[in-house]
Chains A and B, each alone.
Chain A
Amino acid sequence: MMRALSARVRTLSVDLMEIDVAVPPAGLIDEVRRHLLDGETHYTTRPGIVDLRRRIAERIEQLGGGSLDPLASVLITAGEREALFVILLGLGLRSGATVVAADQGGRHQGLMRLLGLNVIEAGDVQSQRDVVYREAPCSEGLWPSTAQVIAKDSCVEIHNLRGQLTEGSAGCGEGQGGEEIGSSLGAQTILMGNLHGLAGMSSFRIGFVAGPPATMKPIMVWKQALSICTAAPSQRAAIRSLDRWRAPGP
């Protein structure tokens, strides 16, 4: 079957990953189990369980990212990789589209190559670019400063927070230290990241995308076309983990 492989995959070479599995904390699996036994075994709402989307919207707002409608602006994905994939599909980028990104796309170089995107460094930017992609931590903090936003008005900017939505203390952004956005994000800014840093969450594979409703709509359509929805047990585990992170109990 080798001769039948597509050109995009014949030229793609990456080291295969293994995820380190953290043992889930006591109570997490019991919570997931209880919801499953109560019948939460079906497809979830396609963009994700509303309670989880709401919590992510709240956390982004807490960090100064502005108020988001969780229904129209937040999507749950099967990890950070799927988040970026559906964003790029949703933006309708064709092979050859130009992406401004450091390090050839950083941890997502392989995806950029798979899609045939033309990745250029910020210093190479003259006029044409379709998307700006950056990964946290960036040199000036968690959120992009005005100076870092290269083309806020003319193209979409994807800001990959990685696991930083849940790093530091849950109260950061409310005067307890930690990073803040400082200024509002651009009207075409899309945020993405993962929740793998939460205790015991690495193997549940939860990512997210947040952005303006009009931009999010096609991204949500592609998520549905790719994998319908994200696994219900993983979403339930994320809700519980976020709650415990925000209000640790005994």
Chain B
Amino acid sequence: MSNRAAEAGEKATWMRYSLMELAARRDDVIPLGLGDPDLATPAEIIEGAARRMSNPVSTLPIRGLPELRQRLARRYRHEKGMEVDSERQILVTNGGQEALFLTLLALVDPGDGVAMADPRYSSYDQAVGAAGGRIVEIPTGRDCRFELDAAALREGVGDAKLLVLVNPNNPTSSLIDPAGVREIAAVAQERDLIVVADEIYDDLVYDDREVLSMAACDGMSSRTVTLSGFSKSYAMTGFRVGYLIGEPDFIDAVTVIKQVVSGPCPLFSQYAALAALQLSHDTRSAFRRRYDRRRRVILQGLDSHGIPYGDVGGGLFVWADVSMYGLPADEFCLRLLQDTGVLIFPGLSFGERWQYFVRISFLAPEAKIRVAMDRLATFVATLPAGSR
């Protein structure tokens, strides 16, 4: 079960958690590492869940509350133009991460290739490892945009069976525009790839740009598994609610797996997700506007030092190149934390090539991010600038 993919993922995850442990020993830390929104879950979500739990349903089906699945189907129809059968095409999961894990167990046989952009969210490596798969890295980074593009996919995909496409991306926050998504869809059809479309950040898109769901592309619904959840859009990480949308035969199969590996998602959490779907779109827009302001503060801070970064079209992170300071990113992050109390994550925890990159999240209040940028300025002033 355990293999190189799992071990690499574990090592990368360990790197992040070691920094977090160090950070926990200080009381002045500004955490810009983890992808856990600092904003409060809207009170209506908590109150709505509590109200429903006082008179709950009598049975909890493994696929998830029918009412929650119906609401999700309605949202996908209204917002993405996708026709989804709530009875047969949705499975509610314990967060987006479980959704991916179950998906890979359902689709990957030992030795199967799973294509993913490099850099990537390394916790997914362990899921690939558990299924016995092997990771096929598709390089990104040309022109510092970090978008997976169709040409790179065509060149690098080899005999992979699956493509895991995270759009908007973690860790880079690159956003593939609709035209790019369609081009990737064309490659998927040409190479007979199943696409696992992780769209958990799709409410968090900036600069009036658009995001197109892979499953909404012509000819793609039958070969796409859409993965998403409530953690990022509604600041609900602690509730652990995600979901999968796919073809009925896939959902049947992954439901069986969910039954044997975990059982249904907790009812209270599902009621909270239901309450979230009943909120107006303004809630998500308000979150996005706040994150956008923070994003701009970070980008201005990096610009003031001439630190290059990838295009931040969506998501919650900035992917920055600190090679001008000559320090490998793990050392850069460690010293930044030790000297200033600012926690960010080194690029190596998202792929072996990224030893001079860092991931900075905007999941702290704007005022704190400004302080963090001031501390960063003080820190880099102590470093000899110059290309490595």
Contact = CB atoms under 8 A, between A and B. Distances in A.
A6 B108 contact: yes
Interface stretch (A10-18, A138-146, A151-159, A163-171): A10-18
A7 B133 CA distance: 13
Interface residues of A, number: 66
A18 B249 contact: no
B127 A225 contact: yes
B249 A234 contact: no
Given A81-B262, A205-B264, A233-B272, A14 B256 contact: yes
Given A20-B58, A21-B59, A4 B161 contact: yes
Contacts of A232: 238-240
A113 to B, nearest CB: 8
Given A4-B161, A17-B62, A228-B240, A92 B2 contact: yes
B86 interface: no
A41 B43 contact: no
A246 interface: no
B59 A19 contact: yes
B60 A19 contact: yes
A215 to B, nearest CB: 15
Contacts of B54: 23-24, 29
A227 B240 CA distance: 8
A5 B267 contact: no
A39 interface: yes
Contact of A203 (B40, B108, B267): B267
Contacts of A150: none
A93 B2 CA distance: 8
B311 interface: no
B1 interface: yes
A158 to B, nearest CB: 15
B170 to A, nearest CB: 13
B152 interface: no
B277 interface: no
Interface stretch (B98-106, B171-179, B336-344): B98-106
A184 interface: no
Contact of B109 (A7, A12, A16, A24): A7
Given A1-B246, A18-B62, A39 B53 contact: no
A104 interface: no
Interface string A27-47: 001101100110111111010
Given A21-B267, A33-B50, A41 B260 contact: no
A89 interface: yes
A17 to B, nearest CB: 5
B300 interface: no
A82 B236 CA distance: 21
A109 to B, nearest CB: 9
A230 interface: yes
B263 A78 contact: yes
A8 B2 contact: no
A214 interface: no
A229 B269 CA distance: 13
A226 interface: yes
B238 A12 contact: no
Interface string B36-54: 1100110100110110011
A245 interface: no
A1 B50 contact: no
Given A4-B194, A21-B58, A225-B127, 20 more contacts: A1-B250, A8-B105, A9-B257, A14-B259, A16-B256, A17-B264, A19-B59, A20-B59, A32-B268, A36-B41, A37-B43, A40-B238, A46-B17, A95-B110, A205-B264, A224-B13, A225-B10, A225-B13, A225-B123, A231-B240
Shortest beta-carbon contacts, A-B, top 5: A232-B238, A225-B126, A203-B267, A110-B260, A41-B41
12 contacts: A4-B194, A18-B62, A21-B57, A29-B54, A42-B36, A46-B17, A78-B240, A79-B263, A81-B259, A81-B260, A89-B2, A226-B101
Interface of B: 1-2, 6, 9-10, 13, 17, 34, 36-37, 40-41, 43, 46-47, 49-50, 53-63, 94-95, 97-98, 101, 105-110, 112, 123, 126-127, 130-132, 161, 194, 222-223, 235-240, 246-247, 249-250, 253-257, 259-269, 272
